Amino acid sequence: MKFIVDQQVEDIEMPENLKLNTFLKEFHSDCLHPECSFGLYGFAFGQSPFPVPKIVQEALIKNADKGTYAPVPGITELRDAISKYNKHYFGMDISPERIYVGPGTKELIFNLLEVLHGTVILPTPAWLGYLPQIRLLKKNYHMLPARANKKFSPDDLKKLALRLQDRQKILILNNPHNPTGLLYDKLELEEIADVCRDQNIIVISDEIYAQTTYNFSKFISMGKIYPEGTFVTNGLSKSHAAGGYRLGYVIFPQHAVDLKRQFKKILATEYTAVSTPIQHAAVAGFEISTEMDDYFDVTRNIHQIMGEYTYHALSTIDGIKTTKPDATFYLLADFNVFATELQKAKINTSQKLSEALIVHPYHTAIVGGDSLVLERTDFSARIAYVDYDGAKVYQNYLDNKPKSTSERVEFVKNNAPKVVAGIEMICRFFSNLRKESLDDLQAHKNLIVT
């Protein structure tokens, strides 16, 4: 029997993050070389390494008997807790009626894109999840490339919007940003909001990494700056290290009553509601408590320590540029200064660079540029600094908080040896590349002389 698949499904690829698994299996051979007993240095996966907070786990166990369907927008206790959470941490007054709960923000972003008319504006580089959704929904879209500072500029947004004919446009803002780890500050958000008001652009503000902002007081939600036109999405996946729970929420803009009705129809049609026990567990995660407050504090401090180390260690490679993360557990490293040497070694796409790093003797996994919605020939990569035992490191941090710069470096060396060794491997790869290229040049010169 031959099954015929709809064309828009044929046209999209497996989302890059999930493809990565297959890729790693395919290219990473279990090396018999004694030097390679370390397995793999993992800079590719975007998962928080910490355990799910105890009180969330306990609430899940306690509510395992809740077998009835939940209301479509989410249980009342959870919408109330999310409302208070937003007030406490982000200074936002959101009535619970403006909150809808869904099975992860990825699904909710998809649902918003289904409901909202308009051309999508996607700043790049971008998280690898958006583009397949836009394509599946056959929406018109335009990329908005970042400037040299790796952020998009409001002027560029305006120029692009002026060219688009659509009555309504949708900007996907991701703040703090995956893959760069950068944060848009208040002034930048205000400038973006001015353009949005002027050009009738609505914003989906993906703020899944908000709680990881290292200097937490610096984070400001776009929902506060542009409340009439912003849909804020957030959830349990990164802040609570619970991506597998599949729970996210969206905050609707003020005065979007009819739109909420339309949205509810879509949720009811597609998945009815999020699992009831998971919603009860999430209540414990969003309620204000000392346990959760400490958890956010400790985890963001550890991410920051790992981020500082990774940034400084990679910056020792001559000529490469990396973003200095303000949040998340990623940074973007730009290896384009090596373009000539890479091409000489027949590495002419970012995919090839990922492949070259995964094989012997490097065994190092990174996410290459084309997975970040960059040109295939852009040698930039996302480096996730999370390859360590989160439970152990969390406890070690509590037992002995590193204070000075040197203590912080020691902390990384003692607690995340694979992060340290993996960065050394990346350095070694590029130093070998440079050396091979110089050797080639020398051999070529010798040939001319003789």
> Which residues lie near ligand PLP (CB under 6 A)?
46, 104-106, 127, 129, 174, 178, 206, 208, 235, 237, 243, 248
For ligand PLP, the closer CB: 237 or 276: 237
Task: Decide: helix, strand or coil at residue 169.
Answer: strand
If we measure between CA atoms, which residue out of 322, 320, 321, 295 comes closest to residue 307?
Answer: 322
For ligand PLP, the closer CB: 178 or 322: 178
CA pair distance 127, 111, nearest whole angstrom = 17
Cα angle: 44, vertex 48, 51; to 5 degrees: 140
In 212-272, the DSSP E strands lie at 230-235, 248-251
CB of 219 vs ligand PLP, minimal distance in Å: 15
Q: Closest residue (Cβ) to ligand PLP?
A: 104
Q: Do the strands 380-384 and 330-334 form a parallel or antiparallel pair, or are they unpaired?
A: antiparallel
For ligand PLP, the closer CB: 181 or 235: 235
Count the neighbouring beta carbons within 10 Å of the beta carbon of residue 184: 23
For ligand PLP, the closer CB: 98 or 106: 106
Instruction: Name the phi and psi angles at 21, rounded to 5.
Output: -55, -50
For ligand PLP, the closer CB: 247 or 313: 247
CB of 251 vs ligand PLP, minimal distance in Å: 14
CB of 127 vs ligand PLP, minimal distance in Å: 4
Tokens found for residue 347: 């590495």
CB of 245 vs ligand PLP, minimal distance in Å: 9
CB of 329 vs ligand PLP, minimal distance in Å: 10
For ligand PLP, the closer CB: 57 or 336: 57
Burial class for 138, CB neighbours closer than 10 Å (0-12, 13-18, 19+)? exposed
State the DSSP H helix or E strand holding residue 332, giving kind and residue range, or none if neither: strand 330-334
Peptide bond into 154 cis (omega under 30): no
Rg (CA), the chain: 23
CB of 176 vs ligand PLP, minimal distance in Å: 9
